[in-house]
Each structure stands twice: as structure tokens, then as C-alpha cells.
Amino acid sequence: MAGCCDHEVSFDGQSASYRRVLWVVIAINAVMFVVELVTGALSDSRALQADSLDFAGDTATYALSLFVIGKPLIWRSRAATLKGISLLAMGIAVLVMTLGTLDHETPPLAGWMGGIALLALAANAISALLLMKFRDGDANVRSVWLCSRNDAIGNLGVLIAAGMVAWLNSPWPDRVLAMIMASLFVHSAISILRQARHESISTRE
């Protein structure tokens, strides 16, 4: 993940096209949250459950991003700080959830994992492509891009983990992937929090 930006921010989200893209991405994430929440439970996949939690968080934080567009920089930096904290909390939650299943030897259903991961990858790839031209900007705008990019990477990981689960007949690929996703959440959270702090300080100068 990229660190905080030291160059002058040139885009704060104030464009009709960006607002439209955010609405589309919010809808995509809300639908995929429900899909992965149900299928993650049915397949007993920690990776899918982690991804569903990510979709839920993204739905809420993208809505927050939409709300603070056009607000003063201090508002936007505080919104980005809140998103960074929520990402950090999700990373910790996924890690705790995964560690709590270490004595469970039954592997998840690889077919479910792979099929839903493909659907989620398509959803996130569409979101990332829509957001790509807006990837540079203040912490609020950049956090949306980072979340979408992370999601696409995570879905590729779930696909690989599903194949490994089927090949090894073991729950460990699913667990390892969930822990990698947790670390990705934490890493991105730190990046967002650093940039938000930098912008917050600049408002007081």
C-alpha cells in the first residue's frame, strides 16, 4: 500500500461524475455483502466471511465519503480517520475470528469459495476500474481507491485459497488467506491514518 501523500492534493471529490461512481460502488458493495455473508456461513469459509465484513465496511465508509464531499478539509480528514480506524478494527476482528477456528479441522467448501470469489472479483474489478481515475486526491478520496484495490487483491487470494483447499483437503489455506487479508486491512488503515493526520495538521498551519 502506498504511504501518505506529501504532494499538494488536487482533487477532493467535488465532481458529479465522482458522485455517480460512488453511488454505483456503494450499491455493488451492499449487494455483495449480503451474498458473501450468506455463502460464507454456508461454506464455513473464514476468507469469505472476512471479505463479507470488508464489503459491509466499504458500503458504510463509501457512504461517509459521499457525505463529506465538499465539506472543509478538516471534516474530510476526520472521515478518513474514521475509515482508517474501521479498517484497523476489521483487521483485528478477522484475525481473532480466524485464530478462534484453529481447532476446527473440517475444510470449507472449496466450490462455494471459488464461485463466490469469482463473483466478488468481478464486482470489485468493476468498482476499481470505475474509481481508477479518481485514485489520487485527499485522504477521503484515496481511501476509497485503496479499499477497492484491496478487495480485488483479496478476491484473487480467495480463488487461490479455494484451489488449495480442494487440492489439500485442508482448512489451512483458507485460514492463511484470512490472516493475510487481516494484515492488508491493517496496512491500509495505517496508510489512510497517516495521510489523514498529515491533512489534519495542515489545516492548523
In a domain, 85, yes or no: yes
In a domain, 83, yes or no: yes
Separation of alpha carbons 197 and 205, rounded Å? 13
Separation of alpha carbons 22 and 26, rounded Å? 6
Start-to-end Cα distance in the chain: 28
Burial category of 21 from C-beta neighbours within 10 Å (exposed 0-12, middle 13-18, buried 19 and up): buried
In a domain, 7, yes or no: no
In a domain, 2, yes or no: no
Per-residue pLDDT of the chain (205 residues), as tens digits, is 333 344 444 576 778 888 999 999 999 999 999 998 898 888 888 778 877 877 887 888 788 888 888 778 777 777 778 878 888 887 888 788 777 766 766 777 778 888 888 899 999 889 988 888 887 777 777 778 777 877 887 788 888 888 888 888 887 887 888 888 788 778 878 887 887 888 777 766 5
In a domain, 5, yes or no: no
* Residue 86 amino acid letter: S
Pick from 169, 166, 153, 90: nearest CA to 117: 153
The total of other beta-carbon atoms located within 10 Å of residue 97's CB is: 15
In a domain, 8, yes or no: no
In a domain, 156, yes or no: yes
In a domain, 6, yes or no: no
Q: Residue 47's domain spans which residues? A: 16-203
Q: How many domains does one find in the chain?
A: 1
The total of other beta-carbon atoms located within 10 Å of residue 18's CB is: 22
Pick from 66, 7, 69: nearest CA to 198: 7
